[in-house]
């Protein structure tokens, strides 16, 4: 493959991050308009209302495990291990990040969120495993 296919899932994740930033801004503006918090209170951000806090936490989560995803995608490309297997795994990981984010910013129900996170964790582990096998064999 060794084109740019491995970067499309990465860009799809970037779109998720930008979407979450937009949602956070909208929810914070709604909380200010509703009088639940003063705009200046966001400077220290100690008492964020739950409606926007879940989005803030979801957004922070996009810079934890996905950092390993970004690194893995770049390494898969550099080592020319970006084939159907790795690109497929990358798309599955990103789809799981979207599902995780959707649950996080709506019901935030751990019965659903935790298994989705765990599945993404395992898919990303498989991506790293694929990279390791590719380098060991190649």
CA atoms within 13 A on the CB side of 126: 15
Please count the CA atoms within 13 angstroms of the CA of 118 that sit on its side-chain side: 6
N- to C-terminal Cα distance for the chain?
15
Say whether pLDDT at 1 is over 80: no
Diameter of the chain measured on Cα atoms:
61
Top pLDDT among 61 and 38 is at 61
Per-residue tokens: 24:
């956070």
* pLDDT for position 63: 96
Q: Is the pLDDT of residue 26 over 90?
A: yes
The reported pTM is 0.95
Region for residue 10 given its phi and psi (left: phi exceeds 0; alpha: psi -120 to 50; beta: otherwise): alpha
CA 43 vs CA 18, 24, 47: distances in Å: 21, 14, 11
């Amino acid at each position: 493959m060794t084109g740019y296919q491995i970067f499309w899932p990465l860009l799809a994740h970037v779109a998720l991050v930008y979407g979450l930033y937009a949602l956070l801004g909208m929810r914070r503006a709604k909380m200010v308009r509703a009088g639940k918090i003063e705009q200046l209170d966001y400077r220290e951000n100690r008492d964020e209302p739950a409606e926007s806090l879940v989005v803030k936490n979801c957004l922070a989560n996009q810079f934890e495990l996905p950092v390993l995803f970004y690194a893995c995608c770049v390494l898969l490309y550099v080592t020319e291990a970006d084939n159907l297997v790795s690109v497929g795994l990358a798309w599955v990981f990103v789809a799981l990040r979207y599902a995780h984010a959707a649950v996080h910013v709506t019901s935030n129900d751990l019965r659903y969120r935790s298994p989705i996170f765990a599945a993404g964790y395992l898919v990303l582990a498989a991506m790293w495993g694929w990279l390791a096998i590719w380098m060991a064999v190649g």
